[in-house]
């Protein structure tokens, strides 16, 4: 079976940092496009960051310079390092894996990030 297991969410102060982890089983993360999405209360889910199987990264404008997506192939894990967090970053963050041509698509369960003073 395929599983994406997320961890690292929590409550942080504005300006703080968190590192989210997405540990995959049943697939190899280096063979998939791996993405982080988030969904804030009352908002639609949005793509935050992605890394292709070739290692190319991309980010939504609102997190550029603050968030970094990375991949550890040996651990079969994708990370989202989040720095300089803002209250508007508050959301449930979801890990997603997608194969070429979207033949396969998998989601994690989500991990909640709350940025508040």
SS3 48: strand
Give the model's pLDDT for residue 64.
98
Q: Which residue has the tokens 């041509």?
A: 101
pLDDT digits (tens, 9 = 90+) for 25-59: 999 999 999 999 999 999 999 999 999 999 999 99
pLDDT digits (tens, 9 = 90+) for 57-76: 999 999 999 999 999 999 99
Report which of 105, 58, 63, 99 is spatially closest to residue 84, judged by C-alpha positions.
63
- pLDDT higher than threshold 90 for residue 102: no
């Amino acid at each position: 079976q395929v599983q994406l297991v997320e961890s690292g969410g929590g409550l942080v102060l504005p300006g703080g940092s968190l590192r989210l982890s997405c540990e995959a089983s049943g697939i190899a993360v280096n063979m998939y496009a791996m993405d982080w999405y988030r969904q804030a209360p009352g908002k639609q889910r949005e793509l935050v960051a992605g890394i292709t199987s070739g290692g190319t990264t991309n980010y939504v404008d609102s997190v550029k310079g603050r968030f970094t997506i990375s991949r550890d192939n040996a651990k079969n894990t994708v990370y989202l390092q989040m720095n300089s967090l803002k209250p508007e970053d508050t959301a449930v963050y979801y890990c997603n894996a997608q194969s070429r041509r979207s033949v396969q698509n998998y989601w994690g369960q989500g991990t909640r990030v709350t940025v508040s003073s």
